[in-house]
Amino acid sequence: MNRIILHIDMNSYFASVEQQANPFLRGKAIGVTGKRKERSVVAAASREAKKLGVKTAMSTWEAKRILPSIILVAGDPEKYGDITRRFNAIFRDYTPLVEQFSVDESFLDVTDVAQDYLGATAIALAIRERLRTECGDFITASIGIAPNKLLAKLASETVKPSGLTVVRPHEAIALLDRCALQDLCGIGPRIADRLGDLGIRSFAQLRQFPLDTLAAEFKSYGLWLHNAAHGIGDDTVSPDAEDPKSVGHSYTLPADTSDPTVVQRHLLALCDKVAWRLRRDGFAARCVTAYVRFGDFSGAGKQHRFQEPTNNGLELFKIAWGLIRQNGSDVSLKQIRLVGISASGLITGSRPTSLFRKDRNVVSTLHALDKLQTRFGDRAWTRASLLSTNVLERTSGFHYDHEL
């Protein structure tokens, strides 16, 4: 039986939430940035800003150059996270099969509750009304209804803002043929270029193209492309969040620096954040990746695997700093713009107690600090060496720092 999938995509999400919160921003071109407005990007542009050429992920200086009158608003991740929880709770009132795809979009499988496309449309309209009354008039969504997630997402993106697009199974090909290849989630500029090299510039051409030639060019992705061109895609909505494969943080420094101490302090602060998330969720890492981006936007990164898993921020820092030094990126010679760390190779479960008292003391100290942080929040303690280092929360992304 064909499933009936809703894709609900909040329009200009962060900007709409800001316009809901502040009536004096409504009807104006605004861009939501990171906590700092300079050296940041536009995480979301309002509809008015988009109409005047500002795009999501554009740097703030470029947005200002295109539209000098744009109002830049520092993002408020706590607010967006709370509204995201609120609208997903509304969705779960209609079906337990809700998959949060990103901070501002979710898939719902309404097959059993809706029974047919008319029922699904009624659910979509009811959800839209509840969004209006429970989140606010300015927080609107585009909704796509289709037999799988791929088509539902494509459908929701065809009409913005506040669109409602229904694509029944027999209408899938017609929808695809109205769209460009890059409109489909999964076909980015590089794949589109490679398809172009094969003479494929539309879904009709992709359908005609021999599958074995596609598979030879794209390996297993060739079958995915072939199926997508026929409107075939994944229709499984998974409500359970999977365990993370890695935990990481990166941070754009307030100013480019070649001072190793500044870089070290920010890296240590990031390592402590990563380590706390690992301990909170019961993980330890056996692999660390450290990376830097330089002032000229070139970058370098390196990974190290090790046997003894850790979730101690200081240990992560020692490994990460060693990697940055090894990387050939002589910190004292290059201006560093961004520093980042990712912990992977995650394992769960208890680990053997160390034979050494010093190690056992560290574990019990971290346990005590974790209790403190759980009770009083992430500002409950800091290292003396980091008192002057302020790592601001980020605005975009899925898992917000403020959940730490």
Partner 1 sequence: MHALIDDAVDVIVSFDQNRVIPKRMRWDNRIYNLKAVNLIHTAREGAKRVFYFSVSDLTNSFKLRLDTESLEWRLVETYTA
User: What residues numbered 7-46 form the site for partner 1, per CB under 8 A?
Assistant: 17, 20-25
Q: Which of 128, 179, 116 is nearest to 150 (CA)?
A: 179
CB atoms within 10 A of CB 384: 6
Active site residue 105: yes
The full DSSP string for 190-223 is HHHHHHHHTT--SHHHHHHS-HHHHHHHHTHHHH
CB nearer partner 1, residue 371 or residue 383: 371
CB nearer partner 1, residue 374 or residue 382: 374
Query: Would you say 60 and 37 are in contact if contact means Cβ atoms under 8 Å apart?
Result: yes
Q: How remote is the C-alpha of 337 from its chain's centroid? A: 21
- Residues 6 or more apart whose CB falls under 8 angstroms from that of 97 comprise 108, 109, 110, 237, 239
DSSP-based three-state secondary structure for 392? coil
Residue from the set 168, 373, 392, 393 that interacts with partner 1 by CB under 8 A: 373
Residue from the set 188, 196, 377, 397 that interacts with partner 1 by CB under 8 A: 377
Which one from 105, 129, 217, 242 is the annotated catalytic residue?
A: 105
- Residues that contact partner 1, how many (by CB under 8 A): 22
359 interacts with partner 1 by CB under 8 A? no
Q: Shortest gap between Cβ of 71 and partner 1 (angstroms)? A: 9
280 interacts with partner 1 by CB under 8 A? no
297 interacts with partner 1 by CB under 8 A? no
CB nearer partner 1, residue 30 or residue 110: 30
- Taking the C-alpha atoms of residue 399 and residue 56, their distance in angstroms, rounded to an integer, is 19
374 interacts with partner 1 by CB under 8 A? yes
CB nearer partner 1, residue 79 or residue 130: 79
Strand partners, 341: 249, 290
306 interacts with partner 1 by CB under 8 A? no
Cα separations in angstroms, 97 against 107, 147, 239, 326 = 8, 15, 5, 47
- Residues 6 or more apart whose CB falls under 8 angstroms from that of 370 comprise 276, 279, 280
393 interacts with partner 1 by CB under 8 A? no
Stretch in the footprint of partner 1 (CB under 8 A) among 117-125, 264-272, 346-354, 373-381: 373-381
Stretch in the footprint of partner 1 (CB under 8 A) among 71-79, 115-123, 183-191, 351-359: 71-79
Catalytic residues: 105
- What are the residues binding partner 1 (CB under 8 A)? 17, 20-25, 73, 78-79, 82-83, 136, 373-380, 402
